Chain A
Amino acid sequence: MGTGEKERKKNRVKFSPSGIAGILIRKIIGVHKKYGMEWWIMIAGIIIILFTVYMALFPETLSPFDPLDQNAGPQLSPPGPVNPLGTDNLSRDVLSRIIHGSRTILGIAFTAAVLASSIGITLGLLSGFAGGITDRILSLIMDSIYSFPGLILAITFAAMLGPGVINITLAVSVTYIPTYFRLVRGQTLSIKEEVYVEAAKAMGAGRAVILARYIFPNIIATVVVLFSMNIADAIITEAGLSYLGLGLPAGVPDWGMDIALGKRFLPSGSWWVITYPGLMVVILALGFTMLGEGLAELLNPRLIEK
């Protein structure tokens, strides 16, 4: 009897925000010795992200030129001492454009992920918790959207809404709502059946209480992982949209757009104009993927066991 009670205490998640944060921090710090490789991958991801965030927040401290300055050097000059990553066809400094472009891509990807997650999680919680006909209809719609190519969806939305930072953010975020919905709904359904939730219901806890104190804290770990992966994906989608010329008004420095503009000068051998912005997309997306994988490994006991 004594052991049973202890077991239950051990398995129960502490239902307060500070408790959750505490568990996260303790887990992350506590287990790094056991999972060497995953730990270092995650650290590498965090370093990449922090560096890009710094670039996005304080581009002036790093960039040698103004991103729109058309007198940064000769036209299409290869990387050299004055322009470390070369210049584009309008004599703008590629490095400065990359540094300033980080703000656009990071801002859009992050905002889109926040939007998609808040809508997707809310709908998923409600659908999984309410059940019945609401759940059926919502699931059917979300599954259909999910099966549709995200990029085409985003392209269509972006084309309908017209160019603009807010519009492209909306177009990117729509694509990811079903991903959150499906995950959260599935988890809600299984947690709803757990004994401790049944017990809370029997003791008279209302729906809102059960959602906020029992179900949400239990899905937060998976959502955190998905959020990180989602930003990685949103970065690639954003770059794709602006590469296709569907995203942003001219004048906003953006990696995807720089690739599209530099593409024409590739056959003449000016590789630096497109290589560096593309590389940055890869590195930044990789940073968020690595963070997500590390978190998945650290937060998921089932994965650790493997």
Chain B
Amino acid sequence: MNSPVCEIKNLHIEYPIAIGTVRAVEDASLNLYPGKVLGLVGESGCGKSTLGLSLLNLVRPPGKVSKGSIIYKGQDILTLPGKKLLKLRGRNISMIFQNPLTSLNPLMKIKDQFYDTMIHHEPGLKKEAAMKRIEELVELLGIEKKRIHEFPHQLSGGMRQRIMIGLALIMKPDILIADEPTTSLDVIVEAGFIELLNQLRQTYNLSVMLISHNLGLVAEIAERVAVMYGGKIVEEGSAESIYSNPLHPYTLGLIQCIPNIKLENQHLFTMPGSPPDLVHPPPGCRFSPRCPKVMAQCRKELPPLIRKNEQKVACWLYRENR
């Protein structure tokens, strides 16, 4: 495997709030590879979006990274000075967000939103040259070029989503972070989106971090998958091995939650309980209160992330194989 374009090392993110500190992300380490898609999966509130934002050093205040580093091209993004960070955002690492309906400036024409981004990264760029590039990209995304003269509210949801992608890709970044990109779209638009993303990552040799609660969506596109629970990565491995042989009971539960239309007479699996309170997390394994295979040790000690076959897993069930 070639070398990673970005390495996240032992990342901790905290949110101080009135009643204590939320440990949104704890000791997360991940690598992103060019041309590959990494799926980051977990329930809402498990810290996956926060982790995504940290790659741009954009964790919403008062949240902050308390430990760890994110190495991109030999430098730590988290310690970059402000000006360099602004140059990096949108040019080297881009992000697309959950809600395309609210993620565009409602008072600006599409072309101006593109141009603002471009002129910031390429001072002195001619307007005509910029327009030409915008039109090309927009057509590649399957939108008529005349639509760039319109305001966001004049476009459909699917179109706005593609404009969002276009805004993220206009500077040809190395890394694209997609945070729940299809949650607010209908199934047909979602299928189109996946196809488009697949195409683009080959064209641009793009490294994608796909953040989603939907393991089914991730399965269709990602090479590697990391599963997060309660701010911690509980399992990581290649997509095939995770689907064919899930090790962590939580991953197993998630896979069982994917509805399968081929099975007749099926019971839709639901996981009992709710995500943990991250201010006062349960001692020991975060998943222990909901785990069907819970043991005495799980409630006392936090399991480390260990290598098991092709995968990494944090669960006391696999301790003897260490």
Task: List A residues at the B interface (Cβ < 8 Å).
Answer: 34, 304
Contact = CB atoms under 8 A, between A and B. Distances in A.
Interface of B: 18-19
Contacts of A34: 18-19
Contacts of B18: 34, 304
Contacts of A304: 18
A34 B18 CA distance: 6
B109 to A, nearest CB: 32
B268 to A, nearest CB: 19
A304 B18 CA distance: 10
3 contacts: A34-B18, A34-B19, A304-B18
B73 to A, nearest CB: 38
A253 B227 CA distance: 75
A304 B17 CA distance: 11
A234 B19 CA distance: 38
Contacts of B19: 34
Nearest to B274: A3
A197 to B, nearest CB: 28
Nearest to A33: B18
B290 to A, nearest CB: 14
A34 B17 CA distance: 9
A304 B19 CA distance: 12
Nearest to A3: B274
A299 to B, nearest CB: 16
Nearest to A31: B18
B253 to A, nearest CB: 20
Nearest to B19: A34
- 3 closest residue pairs by CB, A with B: A34-B18, A304-B18, A34-B19
A34 B20 CA distance: 11
A34 B19 CA distance: 8
B126 to A, nearest CB: 43
B202 to A, nearest CB: 44
A14 B19 CA distance: 25
A10 to B, nearest CB: 16
A34 B16 CA distance: 12
A176 to B, nearest CB: 34
A117 B78 CA distance: 54
B63 to A, nearest CB: 15
A209 to B, nearest CB: 36
B277 to A, nearest CB: 13
A36 to B, nearest CB: 11
Nearest to A34: B18
A80 B19 CA distance: 53
Nearest to B18: A34
B111 to A, nearest CB: 35
